[in-house]
Structure 1
Amino acid sequence: MVSRRDVASLLGAGSFVAAGLTTVSEAQAQAQPPATENTFDSVRRTKKLRIAGIVGTEPYYKKDVVTGKWSGFCVSMGQDLAQSLGAELEISETTWGNSVLDLQSKKIDIMFGLSPLPSRALTVQFTQPIMNNTFTMVVRPGVEGKTWADFNKPGVRVAVDIGSTQDIFARHMLPKATLVALENFSDIPLAMLSGRADCSVQVAMNSLATVKKNPKIGTIVVPTPISAQPTCAGLRPDPDSRFRIFVNNWLAYNQSLGTMRNWIISSLPLANIQPGDIPPDLTF
């Protein structure tokens, strides 16, 4: 026969187990994100802001081959944005061509350094501009041209990295040229030095770094008419606009203080770029 005391003990034990299960369930609920969780809530919940870095694109991104540490002005922006959100920065390696896929697959939360191309805007939301970047040509010795029309010829071999802003711009501006499509931006200098390509379409920041790292590769030409595009940050489309609004406010705040310019200028030495290396007709 079970006494009243035994029943009380059993009920007490059951309550303890139930309370334990409730605690576990609550912890699991906190660890598991809702199926429709937006980017803002995800960053705030996990205390992680995830961005991507691209090797060999100084001064945007630079990865130390020994320590694995990232630097560059896009990394400086990511670190400050993460801190503003009360989060830590996580960086994964990618390419310009894969960065949009990384956003779509929720591998990263934001991608710095993207141009707001209409084709990208079909799947990516963009912030307000970080800066304007001029399109240039890096040309091998002996290759001449002053206008885009000078390079828009079948005999001119133009190197581009697949899926990048430079790739898309070259296909639009130089439809008659012979494109040498390469998997990574870091493959372009070798293609030019080996004679596989005569020139390369690159935004100003990239061309300055390319010529500085490889002086024998050639020179920078700013073809006319001068063409430039804004450089923004790309975000995953989200019905909840808080993350995009926060990033835009953060950009405006740092631009007004001159912090954004300081991040860009201080990153130029990563590519051994000095103010005197910048052609007078080149603007950012």
Structure 2
Amino acid sequence: MMMNRREFSGLLGLAGTGAMAATAVSATVAAVPSPASAQQASGSTFERIRSTRKLRVAGIVGTEPYYHKDIATGAWSGFCMSMAQDLAKAMEAEVEISETTWGNAVMDLQSGKIDIMFGLSPTPSRALVVEFTRPIMQNTFTIIARPGLEPKTWDELNRPEMKIAVDIGSTHDLFARRVLPNATLLALKTPDEATLSVQSGRADAVIQVAMLSLVTVKKNPNVGKIVVPAPLIRQPTCAGVRAEESSRFRTFVDNWLEFNRSSGVVSGWITSSLELVGVQKQDIPADIQF
């Protein structure tokens, strides 16, 4: 699919994650080749990985439990890195890591810089330019609420007097605008700013998916309490792959995911990554299931 710079920048600007906040797309987008040209230059992704024995993945510093980089050793760990290492082993390859950001991940995929990006939400805007695997897990939307606020439903938060913080451009932001249209939304630049707004009393609650809220409260118990309002609303977390004529690589990843999910390995990767940042099984509310 060929797109002009304005269309591509608009699409990428809408993409967000969890913890996963989107960043502005730079003017260098114009230099990004189309999926078709990238494929012609290097063959299909599956063929390239099998011939080079290299699986190129992204790494994002400071996004635990998804990605963690040890400053002293340079070693990577976390949920997404556990998956990357296992997928590479299954393909008889080695992992090659490129540092990036959530906001640049889609562009890195389309340009052929990386082969797969773990931990992406399959938003419609992203799906126009890359493809997604089957869900890795379902991530529950939660809030971290100020002391004394324990809403039982999302409707209780959908009032003008409720000040709800989100990190701008993220899936938290998109979720709040869809589910809480009547609340007073505080769209802040980063997840940290959104979280601190609750601790400072500027906001009543911050919206985060469970993988992030568990880590946030563990690191700073004074920020507030995790609440899971009803009804439970979850979003899929997938892996993104480059759009190309051959579907061989995406099909392989889907089969690999299904094998590991059905045997409980994916759940083990999730709990192990949470334990890296101090979150134990007993810290996870019963309503939250991955």
TM-score of the aligned structures, taking structure 1 as reference length: 0.80
Residue among 273, 276, 279 paired with 2:282: 276
Out of 51-60 and 263-272, give the one that drifted further.
Answer: 51-60
Within the candidate set 168, 176, 185, 1:170 is matched to 176
Change beyond 3 A, Cα 1:182–1:94: farther
Q: Tell me the amino acid that sits aligned with residue 69 of structure 1.
A: A
Matched, 1:76 2:82: yes
The alpha carbon displacement at 1:280 in A equals 1.7
Output aligned runs, 1:224-239, within 5 Å: 224-239=230-245
Deviation at 1:36, TM superposition (A): 5.8
Q: 1:42-95 CA deviation, whole Å, 9 max, x = no partner?
A: 323333222223333322222223333221111100011112222221233333
Match of 2:142 among 116, 136, 139: 136
* Deviation (angstroms), 1:255: 1.9
Once the two structures are TM-superposed, the CA of residue 261 in structure 1 deviates from its matched residue by 1.9
- 1:45-124 maps to which residues of 2 (within 5 A)? 45-124=51-130
Quote the Cα distance in structure 2 between the aligned partners of 1:106 and 1:196.
Answer: 42
How many angstroms apart in 1 are the aligned matches of 2:104 and 2:261? 28
Q: CA deviation at 1:222?
A: 0.6
Distance verdict in 2 for CA 1:229–1:45, change over 3 Å? same
Query: In the alignment, residue 64 of structure 1 is paired with which amino acid?
Result: D
> Deviation above 4 Å: which 4+ runs of structure 1?
none
In the alignment of these two chains, the number of paired residues is 253
Paired residue type of 2:146: R
- Take 2:45 and 2:141, find their aligned partners in 1: how far apart are those partners? 32
The CA distance in 1 between the partners of 2:161 and 2:107, in whole Å, is 33
Flag the 1:275–1:117 CA change in 2: closer, same or farther, 3 A: same
Identity level (%) = 62
Higher deviation after alignment, 52-61 or 221-230: 52-61
SS of alignment partner, residue 58 of structure 1: coil
Match of 1:201 in 2: 207
User: For the residues of structure 2 that align with 1:173 and 1:35, how far apart are their CA atoms?
Assistant: 44
SS at match of 2:151: coil
Secondary structure at 1:97 match in 2: coil
Q: Distance in 1 between matches of 2:232 and 2:94?
A: 40
CA deviations 1:25-49 (Å, max 9, x no partner) are xxxxxxx995262222232333322
Query: Offset of 1:103 from its aligned partner?
Result: 1.8
Could you list the runs of 5+ residues in structure 1 that have no partner in the other structure? 1-31
Alpha-carbon deviation of 1:118?
2.5
In structure 2, relative to structure 1, the CA distance for the partners of 1:161 and 1:44 (3 Å cut) is farther
- Normalized against structure 2, the TM-score is what? 0.78
- CA shift for structure 1 position 144: 4.3
